[in-house]
Amino acid sequence: MDAPRAEPRANRTDVLDLARRSGMRVGLVVLVFLVLAALVGGRVLPSAVAAVAFLAAAILALVLPARSQLGQNAATQPGAREPDIFAFADALTDPCLILDRRAVVIHRNPPAARQFPTTVSGNPVTFSLRNPEFVRAVERAGDTAATQTIELHETIPSETWTKVVVAPLRTPGREWAGDDARRLVVTFQSLTELKRVDALRTDFIANASHELRTPLASLLGFIETLQGPAAKDAAARDRFLGIMRGQAERMAKLIEDLLSLSRIEMHQHMRPTGEIDLVALLREVCEGLETQARDAGVAIDFTVNAESAVLTGDRGQLYEVFENLIDNAIKYGAGGGKVEVVLAAASRPGYAHLVTVTDHGPGVAEEHVPRLTERFYRVDAESSRKKKGTGLGLAIVKHIVSRHRGLMTIRSRPGEGMRVEVLLPR
């Protein structure tokens, strides 16, 4: 990137400095002749001493201001500080542009070059970044020397949010309006991920509140009924208490899943350290769900196609993963009559074990598959509630698998059942 050209003032400074240096040399020559003349006369004349003192003072008066002025001018020249400013910009991880007094780009750091490739050095920044709010912020900062902070929301080609700060860079001891060396520093910070997380949190709170409000309203309604018209009706009381128990269990299950999800997220970046026998764990899960499967008319077929399956992980969490997956297969694939659980060696690089859970139920449409691991997402909300689902099971599974540096894939089509694959490292 070409550095901006220095102003003519620098040339005038050099000429003045040369004149002062020439005057200093002439003064030194005269001083030497006077000293020699005094020595030749055999005595030091008062006039010679006076001349020496006068010339010494004059030379110092010429030399010191010249050097001081030269240093001051050099420090305030446009471009004198720019190597340091450019190095500072290049050290930033966020995009950064340096603009001159006319809002022309004179430097961009590597992140800015990647994000804004059309911001060419030597062109006004508004040639490339034409958002009206951004243009106004640059103009206000240039006119008022006040830092401007704005938030840009773009929807094309994708939805993004960016925090932009336009800050003036002053020259010490100079007025902003008359300073040819003034600069503007523009930084860009992406807020897109923060906005998305905030939206997810808002949706999560809204969904959790809704899921809790429904059974709570049901409980309150039955309590009022039992205190009023059904107070002396034993048959109604027994029926209502059974419904109330079911609603309370639903709330307890939801709260349990919320707490479980919170615990998993809290330790998301801490890799577990326990040693687990995956064969024994899967067999234990299958045996624990046999009664539920038998009641649903489903057989669990567990197959091991691996000599050994030992891995590092959290046993309790992995138990929860496969209990959730097999439980879902029993509930939603009951029409198929069989749930297949297979453990095999993984063929994909970076992974050691592959566990698949397959049901032969109705399956789901392909457009629903990518969203099945979202919190509270249900293909059929009413059917899910009847089966006592909270809408958090697959979200919990996804987070646990991620914590174990694993990978989960869901495959399903209408009428073909569902197949969930879990890849785990050693």
Residue 376 has pLDDT above 50, yes or no: yes
Residue 88 has pLDDT above 50, yes or no: yes
103-123: average pLDDT: 93
Torsion angle in degrees (nearest 10) through CA of 55, 58, 60, 61 = 180
* pLDDT band at residue 22 using 50, 70 and 90 as cut-offs: low
* Buried b / exposed e along 310-340 (16+ C-beta atoms within 10 A): ebebbbebbbbbbbbbbbbbbbbbbebebbb
What percentage of residues in the chain have a pLDDT greater than 70?
78
Least confident among 17-21, 207-211, 230-234: 17-21
C-alpha gyration radius of the chain: 39
Q: Is the dihedral of CA 237, 243, 246, 248 positive or negative?
A: negative
Assign 36 to helix, strand or coil. helix
Predicted confidence (pLDDT) per residue in 282-293, tens digit: 999 999 999 999
Residue 400, H or E segment: helix 393-403
Q: Work out the mean pLDDT of the chain and round it to a whole number.
A: 81
**CA separation (Å) from 397 to 119, 128, 406?**
45, 45, 11
Q: What is the structure's pLDDT at 306? A: 82
What pTM does this model have?
A: 0.53
* pLDDT band at residue 13 using 50, 70 and 90 as cut-offs: very low
Q: What is the structure's pLDDT at 11? A: 43
Q: What is the structure's pLDDT at 72? A: 45
Q: Which residues partner with 358 through β-bridges? A: 340, 419
Q: What is the structure's pLDDT at 23? A: 55
Q: State how far Cα 31 lies from the chain centre.
A: 72
375 versus 397: the higher-pLDDT residue is: 397
Least confident among 55-64, 212-221, 305-314: 55-64
